[in-house]
Structure 1
Amino acid sequence: MNWTLLVLGSVCILVLGGDAFVRGKRNARTVTFSRTARGHSRDRRDTWSGQAQFTACKSPLSPKDQALLLSHTHETGFHGDDGSSFTLTWDGDGTGVILVLSTLSAPSDSFYEGGSTRLYRSDDYGKSFHDVSHAINNTFINKEFGISAGPGNPQQVILTANLPFTETQGGVIFTSMDAGVTFRSVQLPFHPAQAIQFHYQDPQYLAVISIDDGLWLSQDFGNSWSEVHEGVHTFTWGSGITLFFSSSPKGTVEAARRGELILRRTQDFGKTFTTIANNIFSFGYIGGFLFTSVMEKLGSPRVIYVSSDQGDHFKKAQLPSATTEQFYSVLDGDEDMIFMHVDNPGEDTYFGTIYTSDDRGILYSKSLERHLFGGEGKSDFTNVTSLRGVYLTNILEEDGRIRSVITFDRGGRWRFLKKPENVNCPETSKKCNLHIHGEHSHFSGITPMLPLSEPTAIGLVIAHGSVGDSISAARPDVYVSGDGGYTWWGTLRGPHHYSILDSGGLIVAVEAHRDRQISSIKFSTDEGQCWKIFNFTDHPIFLAGLASEPGTKTMNISIFGYRPDDDDQPMWVAVTIDFEHLLTRECDEQDYVQWLAHSDYDSDPETDGCLLGYKETFRRLKKLSACRNGRGYVVSRQQRPCPCTREDYMCEYGFYHHENTSECLLQPDFLNQTKDICFNGELDDLQSSGYRKIPGDKCEGGLSPPKKEDVFRKLCGKDISPISSNSQTERSPGMLAVIVVCTSVGVIGLVVTAALIITSRRINCRQRSPAYRFSALQLQEDDACVSNESSPNGKLNGFQVQEDSDDDLIE
Structure 2
Amino acid sequence: MWRLVVLGGLCVLLLGTESRSPGGRSVTFRRTQQDETRSQVRARHRRDTSGSSGISHPSHGPPFTSCRLPLTPAEHKVLDDNTHETGFNGDDGSYVILTWVGDGTGVILVLSTISAPLDSFLEGGSSRLYRSTDYGKSFHDISHRINHTFIREEFGVSVGPGSSVILTADTPVVDNPGGIIFTSMDAGATFKFIQLPFHLAQPVTYHFFNPDYLVALSIDGSLWLSLDFGAKWTKVHDGVHSFSWGAGINLFFSCTRVDTVDTDERGDLVLKRTKDLGETFTTIHEDIYSFGYIGAFLFFSVMEEPRSPRVMYFSSDQGDTFSRALLPSASTEQFYSILDGDEDMLFMHVDNPGDTFFGTMYTSDDRGILFSKSLERHLFDGQRKSDFTNITSLRGVYLTNKLDLDGRIRSVISFNRGGTWKQLNKPDNVDCGEQVKSCNLHIHGEHSRNNRIVPMLALSEPTAIGLVIAHGTVGDSLSSSQHPDVFVSSDGGYNWRGTLRGPHHYSILDSGGLIVAVEAQREGQVKTIKFSTDEGQCWKSYNFTEQPFFFAGLACEPGTKAMNVSVWGFRPEEDGQPMWVAVTIDFQSLITRECNDQDYEQWLAHSAEGGTSERKGCVLGVKETYRRLKRQSVCRNGRNFVVSKKQSSCLCTREDYLCDYGYYRHVNTSDCVRQPSAANKSLEMCLNGEEDELLTAGYRKVPSDRCEGGYNPQLAVQTVIRPCGVKPSPGPPDKSTSSVTHFDTLRERLVLILVCAGAGVIVLVAVVSAVISVRRVVYSNRAPVYRFSNLRVQDDENVVTVDRESGTSSNGTACQQDSDDDLIE
SS in 2 for 1:442: helix
Indicate the residue corresponding to 2:13 in structure 1.
none
Hey, what does 1:739 align to over in structure 2? 751
Q: Is the 8 A contact 1:756 1:777 kept in 2?
A: no
The aligned residue for residue 471 of structure 2 is 464
Residue pairs, 1:366-765, within 5 angstroms: 366-473=373-480, 474-600=482-608, 602-671=610-679, 677=685, 684=692, 686-706=694-714, 722-728=720-726, 730=728, 738-739=750-751, 742-743=768-769, 746-750=782-786
Equivalent residue in structure 2 for 1:61, among 63, 71, 83: 71
Query: Paired residue for 2:326?
Result: 318
Bigger shift: residues 257-266 or 488-497: 257-266
Change (3 A) 1:70 1:672: farther
Q: Displacement of 1:168 after TM fit?
A: 4.6
Answering whether residue 311 of structure 2 is matched by residue 303 of structure 1, we say yes
Question: For structure 1, which segment, 666-675 or 280-289, has the greater mean C-alpha deviation from structure 2 after superposition?
Answer: 666-675
CA 1:620–1:35: 2 relative to 1, 3 Å: farther
Give me the whole-angstrom Cα distance separating, in 2, the residues matched to 1:480 and 1:469.
19
> Contact 1:97–1:125 (CA<8 Å) still a contact in 2?
yes
Matches within 5 A, 1:61-460: 61-82=71-92, 84-105=94-115, 108=118, 113=123, 115-151=125-161, 153-154=162-163, 156-248=164-256, 254=262, 257-298=265-306, 300-345=308-353, 347-460=354-467
AA of the residue aligned to 1:739: V
Q: Which letter maps to 1:435?
A: H
CA offset at residue 31 of structure 1?
Answer: 11
**More displaced stretch, 686-695 vs 59-68:** 686-695
Give the C-alpha shift of residue 725 in structure 1. 4.7
Give 3-state SS (helix, strand or coil) of 1:647's partner.
Answer: helix
- Secondary structure of the residue that 1:739 maps to in structure 2? coil
Amino acid paired to 2:205: Q
Task: Check the 8 A contact 1:257/1:783 in 2, yes or no.
Answer: no
**Inter-CA distance 262–678: structure 2 relative to 1 (3 Å threshold):** closer
Cα distance in 1 between the residues matched to 2:99 and 2:260: 33
Instruction: Report how far residue 425 of structure 1 moved.
Output: 1.1
1:491 positional shift: 0.1
Query: C-alpha separation between the residues in 1 aligned to 2:445 and 2:540?
Result: 27
SS in 2 for 1:430: coil
Deviations, residues 43-75 of structure 1 (Å, cap 9, x unaligned): 456344261211211101011111110110000
What per-residue deviation string (whole Å, max 9, x for no partner) do you get for residues 569-623 of structure 1? 2211100000001001111001000000000373222211011111110000000
- Amino acid aligned to 1:728: V
Question: 1:643, CA displacement in angstroms?
Answer: 0.7
CA distance in 1, matches of 2:51, 2:749: 41
C-alpha displacement of 1:262: 2.1
Tell me, in whole angstroms, the C-alpha distance in 2 between the residues paired with 1:493 and 1:694: 39
The structure-2 alpha-carbon separation of the partners of 1:505 and 1:469, relative to structure 1 and needing over 3 Å to count, comes to same
Matches of 1:31 and 1:533, distance apart in 2: 33
CA contact (8 A) 1:446 1:475 kept: no
Aligned length, in residue pairs: 734
Contact 1:739/1:775 (8 A) holds in 2: no
Whether the 8 Å contact between 2:289 and 2:303 is mirrored in structure 1 is no
Distance 1:658 1:382 in 2: 26
2:442–2:478 CA contact under 8 A, matched in 1 = yes
For normalisation by structure 1, the TM-score amounts to: 0.85
Relative to structure 1, the CA distance from residue 9 to residue 416 in structure 2 (aligned partners, 3 Å threshold; closer, same or farther) is: closer
CA contact (8 A) 1:4 1:445 kept: no
For each residue in 1:397-445, what CA deviation from the matched residue of structure 2 results, as whole angstroms up to 9, or x when unmatched?
A: 1111100000000001100000111012155421100000000111111
C-alpha distance in structure 1 between counterparts of 2:216 and 2:199, whole Å: 10
* Whole-angstrom distance in 1 between the partners of 2:677 and 2:591: 61
Give the superposition deviation at 1:115. Answer: 1.3
Question: Is the CA contact 1:241–1:268 (under 8 Å) kept in the aligned structure 2?
Answer: yes
Q: Give the whole-Å Cα distance in 1 for the aligned partners of 2:382 and 2:819.
A: 17
Q: Secondary structure of 2:337's match?
A: strand
Aligned to 1:23: none
Give the distance between the partners of 2:57 and 2:273, measured in 1 at CA.
55
The residue type paired with residue 464 of structure 1 is H
Secondary structure in 2 aligned to 1:85?
A: strand
Q: Could you tell me whether the CA contact under 8 Å between 1:281 and 1:737 is conserved in 2? A: no
Query: Counterpart amino acid of 1:369?
Result: E
Contact 1:6 1:751 in 2 (8 A): no
Structure 1: distance between partners of 2:30 and 2:680 = 53
8 Å contact kept, 1:680–1:723? no
1:6 alignment partner in structure 2: 5
Summarize the Cα distance change of 1:308–1:224 in structure 2 as closer, same or farther, 3 Å threshold.
same
Structure 2 counterpart of 1:439, one-letter code = E
Q: Is the 8 A contact 2:60 2:483 kept in 1?
A: no
For structure 2, list consecutive stretches of 5 or more residues without a partner in the other structure: 11-25, 33-40, 732-747, 753-766, 771-776, 789-803, 810-815
Deviations 1:125-174 (A, max 9, x none): 000111111111111112121111122x12x1110111100255211000
Q: Tell me whether 375-384 or 604-613 shows the greater mean CA deviation.
A: 604-613
Within 2, Cα distance between the matches of 1:46 and 1:756? 17
- 1:219–1:680 distance in 2 versus 1, CA, 3 Å: closer
Aligned to 1:789: none
Aligned equivalents of 1:517, 1:412: Cα separation in 2: 45
Q: Alpha carbons of 1:672 and 1:8: their partners in 2 closer, same or farther (altered >3 Å)?
A: farther
Bigger drift between 609-618 and 673-682 goes to 673-682
The CA deviation at 1:104 is: 3.5
Q: CA deviation at 1:248?
A: 2.6
| Equivalent residues of 2:358, 2:381 under 8 A apart | yes
Deviations 1:347-384 (A, max 9, x none): 11111111100001000001111100011011000000
Please say if residues 653 and 686 of structure 1, whose CA atoms lie closer than 8 Å, have aligned partners that are also in contact. no
Corresponding letter in the other structure for 1:59: L
Residue by residue over 1:502-555, the C-alpha shift from the partner in whole angstroms, topping out at 9 and shown as x without a partner, is 000000000001100011000000000000000111100111110110010000
CA distance in 2, matches of 1:10, 1:71: 27
Please say if residues 173 and 185 of structure 1, whose CA atoms lie closer than 8 Å, have aligned partners that are also in contact: yes
State, as a whole percentage, how many aligned pairs show the same letter: 61
Unpaired runs of 5+ in structure 1? 12-29, 714-720, 759-773, 785-811
Alignment deviations for residues 740-797 of structure 1 (CA, whole Å, 9 cap, x no partner): 6734952434566769779xxxxxxxxxxxxxxx99553x94669xxxxxxxxxxxxx
C-alpha distance in 2 between matches for 1:274 and 1:586: 55
